[in-house]
């Protein structure tokens, strides 16, 4: 595992159609460890708990996303925010089939919501995102709940 004090400085660049890719500068003496989807998801869940504990429900989705990404940079694990994902249908290539809220280390999609209740379509939407990206794990997080444990949903694709 890593220690938070080893990380410093955020670097972000715009990619594609307004997607943002962020990573942090690492100390040169630190050896990068490859984390599994499950290890990453534990960190995501822990961060969501901390954010919800501090601010509770009722804010805009964009506020939770901004705070999540700000706090995530402290982990030093690369991520992409509002990342455009292309869609290819036969001979047609669309540059933006959808925008993923956050993709962590090219392994886990984080779809953030702040709505009264999740509907079946939200789960199906995330399943579609997993299929199109070829990733295996996503977390659908609804911050607009009294207890965040009720707002975090794990969705898998052949994991």
Q: What is the pLDDT of residue 29?
A: 33
Q: Which residue has the higher pLDDT, 22 or 66?
A: 66
How far apart are alpha carbons 159 and 142 in whole angstroms? 22
Burial class (CB in 10 A: 0-12, 13-18, 19+), 12: middle
CA 150 – CA 69 distance, rounded (Å): 21
Domain limits for position 11: 7-156
Confirm whether 61 is domain-assigned.
yes
1 occurs within a structural domain: no
Residue 94, in any domain of the structure:
yes
Task: List, for residues 113-131, the tens digit of each pLDDT value.
Answer: 999 999 999 999 999 999 9
pLDDT at 31: 35
Burial class (CB in 10 A: 0-12, 13-18, 19+), 23: middle
Span 64-72, average pLDDT: 98
Q: Identify the pLDDT of residue 23.
A: 53
Can you tell me the mean pLDDT for 59-86? Answer: 97
pTM for this prediction: 0.80
Integer CA distances (angstroms), 159 to 25, 36, 134, 140, 143, in order: 30, 11, 11, 16, 25
For residue 59 the two structure tokens come to 């804010």
- State yes or no: pLDDT of 16 exceeds 90: no
Considering the domain boundaries, does residue 2 fall inside one? no
Does 138 fall in a domain?
yes
> Domains in the chain: how many in total?
1
By percentage, how much of the chain surpasses pLDDT 70?
79
- Looking at the domain assignment, is residue 73 inside a domain? yes
Q: Looking at residue 14, what is its pLDDT?
A: 54
Residue 101 lies in a domain: yes
Residue 38 and residue 66: Cα distance in Å, rounded?
23
d(CA 89, CA 43): 35
Q: What is the pLDDT of residue 19?
A: 59
Per the structure block, which two tokens stand in for 49? 């708990």
For residue 14, give Cα distances in angstroms to 21, 106, 142. Answer: 6, 17, 26
């Amino acid at each position: 595992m890593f220690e938070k004090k080893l990380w410093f400085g955020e670097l972000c660049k715009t990619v594609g159609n307004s997607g943002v890719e962020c990573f942090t500068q690492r100390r040169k003496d630190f050896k990068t460890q490859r984390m599994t989807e499950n290890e990453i998801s534990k960190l995501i869940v822990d961060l969501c708990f901390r954010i919800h504990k501090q601010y509770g429900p009722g804010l805009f989705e964009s506020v939770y996303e901004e705070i999540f990404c700000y706090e995530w940079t402290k982990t030093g694990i690369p991520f992409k925010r509002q990342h455009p994902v292309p869609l290819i249908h036969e001979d047609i290539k669309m540059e933006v089939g959808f925008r993923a809220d956050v993709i962590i280390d090219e392994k886990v999609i984080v779809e953030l919501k702040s709505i009264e209740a999740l509907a079946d379509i939200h789960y199906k939407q995330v399943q579609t995102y997993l299929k199109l990206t070829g990733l295996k794990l996503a977390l659908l997080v609804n911050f607009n709940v009294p207890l965040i444990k009720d707002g975090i949903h794990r969705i898998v694709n052949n994991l």
